[in-house]
């Protein structure tokens, strides 16, 4: 691997000049050409590690998500990656497994590896960003907020919950359950709010026994749905709090021969790998990729030194109603 010194010697200039050429500082066109020529000849590429050590920062950003197997987050990851790699940054994808200790470990690594910044879908509202922020690394929150005053990109969760529920009301359902995510996660709580709103707006009672908090996972959806069906008065419809809960609920319904529209189903989030006809399940599509793109752009701005007050971008879901029944 050729170094900056090899190039300098071959081009007949100082190492500093070579560095300047590769960093866009002002260099006479003549020397710049010589440097480029020499660099090409030696197949020189700057050593990123050395640069990081000297600059005290590297062109790497961390993306910390709670579940790498959830298509919602991988879709977001693609958005982040597209923007980042366009700008010459690498993305390190970190799977916190929704565990605060693993998350913390990754955030530590982000500091140690001198990463330029972090995009974080926090595992809980007690995530500790002190060290990171003290080290001057910008952090952008995605999907869920944190307890810090930082940039964030979130979904219009309440609206999504309302729209999903509304659709079932319009279809004539009267006992509408809601399988929600963990109570302490902001997104879950907001979607519950939307479900409540829609019911109240129609003068319908808010049936607490039909509200189930669960994990944002398939098995959580399965359990909750099974419980709901075991009720003396089971629901005639259900709003799933995210894509995986929707899958779990639909699996249980299918197994019992209650495939929609036998029981109405609305899902907040997309069902990318479902085999159901899109006609029978209402989906509020959440623009995960856009969320990733937006977050990455904001982070790059912060890395670039933008210094305005913390911003919040809220993305709207898109209602894809089941065909009216």
Partner DNA sequence: ATGAAAGCGCTAACAA
Partner DNA sequence: TTGTTAGCGCTTTCAT
* Span 6-25, contacts to DNA by CB under 7 A: 12-20, 22-23, 25
Is residue 277 near DNA by the rule CB under 7 A? no
Pairing of strands 282-285, 152-155: unpaired
CB 64 within 8 A of CB 96: yes
- Of the pair 5, 201, the CB lying nearest DNA is at 5
Cα separation, 14 vs 7, in Å, equals: 9
**Residue choice 142, 176, 199, 250 for contact with its own copies (CB under 8 A):** 250
Q: Does 89 bind DNA (CB under 7 A)?
A: no
Cα 263 to Cα 265: distance, rounded to the nearest angstrom: 6
Of these partners, its own copies, DNA, none, which one is at the site of residue 320 (CB under 5 to 8 Å by kind)? none
Q: Which of 14, 58, 104, 320 binds its own copies (CB under 8 A)?
A: 58
Q: Are 294 and 313 in contact, with CB atoms under 8 Å apart?
A: yes
Q: Torsion angle of alpha carbons 119, 160, 313, 150, nearest 10°?
A: -50
Helices 29-42 & 4-11 angle (0-180, nearest 10): 120
**Which of positions 182-221 make contact with its own copies (CB under 8 A)?**
218
Residue 269, classed as helix, strand or coil, is coil
Residue closer to its own copies (CB basis): 53 or 310: 53
Q: Which does 244 bind (CB under 5 to 8 A by kind): its own copies, DNA, none?
A: its own copies
Q: Does 95 bind its own copies (CB under 8 A)?
A: yes
Strands 152-155 and 115-120, sheet pairing: unpaired
**Chosen residue from 9, 31, 285, 311 binding DNA by CB under 7 A:** 31
Q: Which is nearer to DNA, 13 or 110 (CB)?
A: 13
| By the rule CB under 7 A, 4 interacts with DNA | yes
- Report d(CA 200, CA 59) in Å as an integer: 50
The three-class DSSP label of residue 315 is strand
Residues that bind its own copies (CB under 8 A): 1, 45-50, 52-53, 58, 60, 68-69, 71, 74-75, 77-78, 81, 85, 90-93, 95, 105, 108-109, 112-114, 135, 218, 243-244, 247, 250-251, 254-255, 271-277
């Amino acid at each position: 691997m050729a170094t900056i010194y090899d190039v300098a010697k071959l081009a007949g200039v100082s190492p500093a000049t070579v560095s300047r050429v590769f960093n866009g500082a002002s260099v006479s066109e003549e020397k710049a050409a010589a440097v480029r020529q020499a660099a090409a000849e030696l197949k020189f590429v700057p050593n990123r590690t050395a640069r990081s050590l000297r600059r005290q920062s590297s062109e790497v950003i961390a993306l910390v998500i709670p579940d790498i197997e959830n298509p919602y987050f991988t879709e977001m990851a693609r958005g982040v990656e597209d923007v980042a790699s366009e700008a010459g940054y690498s993305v390190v994808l970190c799977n916190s497994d929704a565990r605060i200790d693993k998350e913390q470990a990754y955030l530590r690594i982000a500091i140690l590896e001198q990463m330029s910044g972090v995009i974080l879908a926090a595992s809980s509202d007690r995530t500790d960003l002190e060290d990171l922020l003290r080290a001057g690394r910008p952090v952008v929150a995605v999907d869920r907020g944190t307890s810090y005053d930082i940039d964030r990109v979130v979904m219009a969760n309440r609206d999504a919950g309302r729209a999903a529920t509304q659709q079932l009301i319009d279809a004539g359902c009267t006992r509408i359950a809601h399988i929600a995510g963990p109570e302490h996660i902001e997104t879950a709580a907001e979607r519950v709010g939307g479900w409540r709103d829609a019911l109240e707006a129609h003068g319908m009672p808010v049936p607490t026994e039909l509200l189930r908090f669960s994990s944002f996972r398939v098995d959580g959806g399965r359990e909750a749905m099974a419980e709901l069906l075991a009720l003396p008065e089971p629901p005639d419809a259900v709003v799933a709090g995210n894509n995986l809960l929707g899958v779990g609920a639909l699996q249980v319904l299918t197994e019992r021969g209650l495939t929609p529209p036998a029981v109405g189903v609305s899902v907040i989030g997309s069902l990318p790998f479902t085999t159901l006809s899109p006609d029978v399940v209402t989906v509020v599509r959440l623009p995960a990729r856009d969320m990733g793109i937006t977050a990455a752009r904001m982070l790059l701005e912060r890395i670039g030194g933008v210094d305005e007050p913390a911003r919040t971008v809220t993305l709207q879901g898109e209602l894809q109603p089941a065909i009216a029944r």
